[in-house]
Structure 1
Amino acid sequence: MKYVKNLWYKNAIIYSLDVETFKDSNGDGIGDFPGLTSSLTYLSGLGIDCLWLLPFYPSPNCDDGYDITDYYSVDPRLGSLGDFVEFMHRARELGIRVIIDLVVNHTSIQHPWFQEARSDKNSNYRPYYVWSENPSESHPDLIAFPTVEDSVWEYDEKAEAYYLHHFYKHQPDLNIGNPAVREEILKIMGFWLELGIAGFRIDAAPFLIQGTGLENVTPEKLQGFLQEMREFMLSRRTDAILLAEANVEPEKIPLYFGKGERMHLLFNFILNQYMFLALARQDKTVLEEGLKLLPEIPSTCQWLNFVRHHDELTLDFLSGSQQEEIFAAFAPEENMQIFGRGVRRRLAPMMNNDRRRIELIYSLLFTLPGTPLLRYGAEIGMGDDLCLHGRTSVRTAMQWTDEFNGGFSTANPDELTRPIISDDEYGYKKVNVAFQERDPSSLLNWFEHLIRTRQQCPEFGRGTWEILETGKSCTFAHCCHWEGATVLAIHNFSDRPCHVNIPLCKGKHLWDLFGDHQYEPSDHSGELCVNGYGYRWFRVDER
């Protein structure tokens, strides 16, 4: 296979963060672009080569920035466009690409477009949104937050009509069937591409092409907009990518990849849920089922694998009894659950801060077929704050040092955009970057080793994968082949040591690349030992 330069995302390490909670430079209690810029050397040293930034646009912040009032600027609390450009310049110097959220399913109710649309039925902005004077259905199956909203329609007295909103009622949906709206979206993309970004994460992609409440617009036309976005983007920057957030059934996934002409990457929600069920059961079987559910995708496309991100751990692909298994194992208290179908915790507390299990899970993540995503703070084992409302429990400020406010800000604690975790187990006094940078055995230094090793194994990101039989239900093994090279990974989901026999390895020389322990070299018999909650990576030498 010939190496294709523009497939950089196949072997990238993507790091997700919110500017608001990462680093405050001016002491106002809010993270900002100058603060993020000053932290780029830390991310570069960790081995990160791509950042995904959550929304940083002007917003009333009723939904953590996903309710936008201006797509062409930076929230003044976070800095200026000039600060953004300086950030992009420094990121480019350090070899870090930047992708940003494109939130165009909806706007804020305070957006000037909506305010003009509701004020004048003849306004050019009226058809920017979806209206109905008498909607016939509430569409309960399309409500994104069923425990919060009871309909996708909300009556607006000033407009004298109902407007569509799949998410919160303060986020009216844009009318993607309107050519003027589609043209506006392309202009937004063009604006940020000119400022150097390397692509977009498409928020709520299924709702973008849903077509609810639209007349005379075919599904094919709406789905075709994904291709329009791709073509426009590549006309401005040939190596830019589109990453879609699409939590959909396996049979619907081809809508987003097409034949390779639509999205470059898709969040792997299916595998994420089956992985947690396998961890809860300490049984690889359901993980293998999840892998087999994934449809074959075009060679230029890719899965984005993740453990946790900024939202809840959603479990909607699993049955009620399977969800209860995960709740019992990782979120046994009602306050740890959300929307009746998800978990609002970070990984470390879910695993009771068991270092062995945390390492096991991230080792698995970095070897599964696809590109790994790392959420800020995961590299130091940050916890969550269940006293905070909803999803904000996992969106606390980054913990840099054991000094005041964890080194995040010099502001008074009551002025912080989000509280700093200060408990005995996950608080900034104990869990912080500065402390772990000085400790060779820290989780942070383990992650740096993990990332460096993964970057030396492009087979995991680019190759064809194969599940290997181990004969043990607790031990998962798979290999990836690319350009004549093979890498192998073994993960033990149980707390007991395990010996497995893998026919593929018989008579082969195995080079140990990474593991939880310094194991004895392979004896070419195909039998391998893995500790409880252990993991091993090998390069297979055919000679």
Structure 2
Amino acid sequence: MNETLTPAVPVAASRTTDKDWWRGAVIYQIYPRSFADSNGDGVGDLRGITRRLDYVASLGVDAIWVSPFYRSPMRDFGYDIADFREVDPLFGSLADFDELLARAHALGLKVLIDQVLSHTSDEHAWFRASRASRDNDRADWYVWADPQADGTPPNNWLSVFGGSAWQWDARRRQYYLHNFLASQPDLNLHHPAVQAQLLDDVRFWLDRGVDGFRFDAVNFYFHDRALRSNPAWGDEPRTDHSTPDSNPYAWQRHLHDKTQPENLDFLRRLRALMDAYGATTSVGEIGDDNALAVMADYTSGGDKLHMAYTFNLLRDELDAAHVRNVVEQLQAGIGDGWPCWSIGNHDAPRVMSRVGGEHAPPELAKVLLAMLVSLRGSACLYQGEELGLPEAEVPFEALQDPYGIAFWPEYKGRDGCRTPMPWDDQLPHGGFSSVTPWLPMSPRHLPLAVSRQEADANSPLHFARRFLAWRRTQPALAKGELRFLPAPASCVVFARRLDATDLVVALNISAEPACIALTGLGTLQALSGHGLSGALVGDHIELPAYGGFFGLAGGDAA
């Protein structure tokens, strides 16, 4: 039964009047299971988040994104929702959420929450009704299809988590579609009642006072009505960065199981609902063969998503050439759309290990953060990135992620980026919990704990605070246009133009020093206060390993 409470903060009082606050904003992602455990059960919860919000606010971010906390059997750790309006007891209650919301707003933080509209848990009341018969009120709320004459599934669609995307149901004698786990049946958004219900569930949280949503798997909402099979990918280089090469899902061109044209009209309905509540925002997750083009389609025109992110900077080894290629490809087609850049989250190996390997230095964490929040767009900073956490090694016997269990050892799943946040290396389990946590605390993370870094003025944590505070004094980094400049292979170099002035950004994301000659910019004057090492020597910029330089071209330094 849904618990109904009066929102702790009046909605009108909790929202800014600036409808564009999200442009250039820095959003801190919190994975609730692994952030802070307040009740000693080994799993993080809403009260744990609330108690740590002062820390989050001290970073200088604009908003938090809280991953799912709804009632769920937790087979996919909250992304299998059994009730869209109820908090799972593992995380607390609606009253706990209202307290979190009120505290965040008091600290000046906006609150975005995850919404998973493409599928539910098989324990959701809607699915229980749908599978009961072919003629009840919810019979068509999910994607059902008859078998082929030989009993095999309707087509060749595959699940992201392995195997066929179709699961046989003996009661209906039909298959149902699941793009993820078999326990995550896909909703049929071709059905008007399903759309209306989902919009009403979004409205429930807007009425409670949330400032926006991160929409999970946002291009999975619709499927091809004719259920046509996908063609093989062929020998061309892969362009879908959302799945590892060991997953056969990557061997198809996903023309018919997702990213259907009907989705655009639904996103317009979703945006219209959100716009009625004032200064809200939305971030869409896009995994697709042509993700950057879809990102442009879904954010352009001011009538669909506010912003979106893809896996292009989340899965690959991240080097300067790749960053430039991705950003330039996106800019070529995005028009008035808006990106939200992410180099790490709960679905991807931690960026420190992807870039720096086994012994990534703390300086790398600093330059990566500077790069993330200096690109044109908004940015999502995943919990622990401000500490420079590497990927944790989780032994097979301790794995929780069904994705990793299915594809071990070629792909170890997502547990390595989901281990508990290290708060205090002098406390049991790093201060995350008083008991053994749901995933082991990484021994590699304890020396990087918040307590250690608070005591070190040169730590990545203190750099993150200083840099984000300095960034607020440079409006070009939030709002300016971007163009890349000639640079060595190891460096990301670009200019952010605002009000006819160029702010030049030069970042070395390699372990070797670099020298950059910039021409055609006129007088270049170094900016101070950002905290990275780099110097203007004559007409050259000299960068040490993992160094950075910021300067004004054609204007006075500030």
Q: Provide TM-score, normalisation by structure 1.
A: 0.84
Q: Is the 8 Å Cα contact of residues 147 and 154 (structure 2) preserved in structure 1?
A: no
Q: Shift of residue 254 of structure 1?
A: 3.5
Aligned to 1:246: 286
In structure 2, the partner of 1:375 is 382
Q: Which residue of 2 aligns with 1:393?
A: 416
Select 1:458's aligned residue among 466, 475, 491: 475
1:168 aligns with 2:181: yes
Change (3 A) 1:253 1:440: closer
| Pairing 1:83–2:124 present | no
Task: Tell me: CA distance 1:213–1:418, structure 2 relative to 1, closer, same or farther (3 Å).
Answer: farther
Identity of aligned residues (%): 29
Q: Using the alignment, how far apart are the partners of 1:7 and 1:303 within structure 2?
A: 14
The one-letter amino acid of 2:344's match is R
Per-residue CA deviations over 1:489-514 (Å, capped at 9, x if unaligned) read 10224433222211144434333342
The offset of 1:68, in angstroms, is 0.7
Per-residue Cα deviation, 1:412-443 (whole angstroms, up to 9, x for no partner): x2xx232222x2xx142x22112211211112
- Report deviation, 1:477: 1.2
Unaligned runs of 5+ in 2: 1-16, 229-257, 405-413
Q: How far 1:224 moved relative to its partner?
A: 0.6
Query: Structure 1 residues 483, 218: CA separation in 2 closer, same or farther (over 3 Å shift)?
Result: closer
Would you say 1:481 and 2:517 are equivalent positions? no
2:329 is matched with which residue: 267, 272, 293? 293
Whether contact under 8 Å (2:522, 2:554) holds in the other structure is: no
**What is the CA deviation profile of residues 12-36 of structure 1, one whole-angstrom value per residue up to 9, with x for unaligned ones?**
1111112222111122222111111
Structure 1: runs of 5 or more not aligned: 314-342
1:29-428 mapped onto 2 (5 Å cutoff):
29-134=42-147, 140=156, 142-145=158-161, 148=162, 150-211=163-224, 219-235=260-276, 237-248=277-288, 249=290, 250-272=292-314, 276-277=317-318, 279=319, 284-294=320-330, 295-299=332-336, 301-312=337-348, 350=357, 352-383=359-390, 384-387=392-395, 388-389=398-399, 390=404, 391-402=414-425, 403-411=427-435, 413=436, 416-421=437-442, 423=443, 426-428=444-446
Q: Is the 8 A contact 1:56 1:75 kept in 2?
A: yes
| 1:309 counterpart SS class | coil
Residue 289 of structure 1: how far off its partner (Å): 2.5
- Structure 1 residue identity aligned to 2:341: N
What's the CA shift string for 1:202-241, capped at 9, x where partnerless? 11112113335669x9954332101110001111x12111
Q: Report deviation, 1:363.
A: 2.0
Deviations 1:319-374 (A, max 9, x none): xxxxxxxxxxxxxxxxxxxxxxxx89855874523223232222221212211211
Structure 2 counterpart of 1:253, one-letter code: M
* Counterpart residue identity of residue 266, structure 2: F
Instruction: Give the whole-Å Cα distance in 2 for the aligned partners of 1:366 and 1:202.
Output: 21
Give 1:306 shift.
1.4
TM-score (norm 2): 0.82
Matched to 1:311, the amino acid is D
Q: Distance in 1 between matches of 2:29 and 2:499?
A: 30
Query: Which amino acid in 2 is paired with 1:418?
Result: L
Bigger mean CA deviation after superposition, 392-401 or 530-539:
530-539
Query: For the structure 1 residues 263 and 131, does the alpha-carbon distance in structure 2 shift closer, same or farther, using more than 3 Å as the test?
Result: same
**1 or 2, which has the higher helix percentage?**
1
Q: Please give the per-residue CA displacement for 1:93-118, whole angstroms capped at 9, x wherever unaligned.
A: 00100111110111111111111111
